[in-house]
Amino acid sequence: MDEVSVRYIVDDVDSAVEFYTTHLSFETRMRPAPGFAMLQRGNLRLLLNTPGGGGAGQALPDGTRPEPGGWNRFQIGVDDLDVVVAGLRRAGAGFRSEIITGKGGRQVLLQDPSGNLIELFEPFHP
The per-residue pLDDT for range 7-46, each reduced to its tens digit, is: 999 999 999 999 999 999 999 999 998 899 999 999 999 9
Give this prediction's pTM.
Answer: 0.87
Q: Work out the burial of residue 110: count CB atoms within 10 Å of its CB; fewer than 13 is exposed, 13-18 middle, 19 or more buried.
A: buried
Residue 18 or residue 3, greater confidence: 18
Confidence of residue 111 (pLDDT cuts 50, 70, 90): very high
User: How much is the pLDDT for 126?
Assistant: 73
Exposed e or buried b per residue across 11-34, where buried means at least 16 C-beta atoms within 10 angstroms of its C-beta: bbbeebbebbeebbebeeeeeeee
